[in-house]
Amino acid sequence: MAMRPHRTPVAALFGGSAPAAYTCGAVVFDGATQLGIASLTATENAFMMFSVWLLLPNANIFTKAVFVCDPDNQYRPLFNGTFEDGKLAYTAGNAEGDVEVTYTNSPGVTAAAWHNFLGAITLAGVPTGKLYVDDVDVGSASDLFGSGGTVSVNGLSFYVANDTFDAYLPAHMADLWIAPGQYLDLSVEANRRKFISATGKPVNLGAAGATPTGTAPAMFFHVAHAGTPSDFGTNLGTGGAFTLGGGVTQTGALVNTSADVVMADVTGITVGAFITVTGVPAGTTVLSINVLIVTMSAPATASNAAASIKFGGVLRLAPSSPSD
């Protein structure tokens, strides 16, 4: 009997619909650029979270802030470089300065590579929290004192990539999400998956950043891949309009799909394409085979051939006519 190829859409791999690719654009802060607002509108309680993708050209960013609230008050929320290369400290305290905690990543991150920083702090009771880098709990607590406080941010100034004392941050940045008043237990893996996939890729946080918690954050800065770099200066959150100072330039994209399968530039597997299976007897209506699912370990490019390969479930061919 003649063996003829059958074709089935990639959608069959994913229960009837192919996953929509999430391509996260990024911008370069050139060391003379900041985002700022004079009076932030934000919920105030004991909680605060953030997530950001950073590529640091130089690991030494001592005194340089990824973000800072009310820089004249040292107890306000702050995420900045420490005196040790590759280490950043996430601090939150109350307005009175009698409740505070800082989490610092150890070891430091490598320069010239993308990293996801994900942090959460609560001042309810004894201050506590988590700081994850690339989905690994690396935060160690310090400067911990007091008990029971409110993270004060509403009506105060807030800056990104500068502490307003001309300590501008040179960095590549993508999907900066800052949520005063919100908290998730990051020790729960499912909560981390709302920000970073199991394969270390960015995930879609929603048009206004509301997907992770169900509530839009006060601050969410995003630019589409190949979009206009200045779009990153638009706050998609609820905290008000920020002013973009200086110039930003487009950099490479961070790529992910909802199924952790990078479709772009992988031969034979593209969104909406067909997988051709040879050696199937004519007239076969259902066939189960093992399928190779390719997941990239880095942002996909045409020249990126390095990939990890997983064996994924079952591909079932729906009844169809044989295809030559």
Residue 38's pLDDT band (boundaries 50, 70, 90)?
very high
- 262 or 193, which is more confident: 193
Residue 112's pLDDT band (boundaries 50, 70, 90)?
confident
Inter-CA distances, 28 with 174, 305, 314, Å: 9, 26, 42
Query: In the block, which residue shows the tokens 């050696």?
Result: 279
pLDDT of residue 257: 42
DSSP 189-243: HHHHTTTB-TTS-B----TTS-TTTSS--SEEE--BTTS-GGGGGS--SSS---E
- Please enumerate in sequence order all residues whose Cβ is within 8 A of that of 189, keeping only pairs 6 or more positions apart, or say none: none
Note if the bond before 229 is cis, omega within 30 degrees.
no
Which residues of the chain are in CATH 2.60.120.200 domains?
A: 24-256
Inter-CA distances, 243 with 86, 162, 227, 229, 292, Å: 28, 13, 19, 14, 47
Average pLDDT across the chain, whole number: 75
Please provide the CATH number assigned to the domain covering 24-256.
2.60.120.200
Amino acid of residue 161: A
For residues 104 and 82, give the distance between their C-alpha atoms in angstroms, rounded to a whole number.
8
DSSP-derived pairing of the beta strands 65-69 and 21-24: unpaired
Contact 147, 125 (CB under 8 A): yes
Mean pLDDT across 306-323: 33
- Secondary structure class of 34 (helix, strand, coil): strand
b/e per residue, 234-244, with b = 16+ CB within 10 A? Answer: bbbbbbeebeb
Inter-CA distances, 307 with 116, 198, 277, 292, Å: 20, 15, 22, 12
**What is the per-residue pLDDT across 220-278, written as a single tens digit (0 to 9) for each?**
999 887 778 888 899 999 999 999 877 777 666 665 543 333 322 222 222 222 333 34
Mean pLDDT across 175-187: 97
DSSP assigned state of 322: -
- 324 or 105, which is more confident: 105
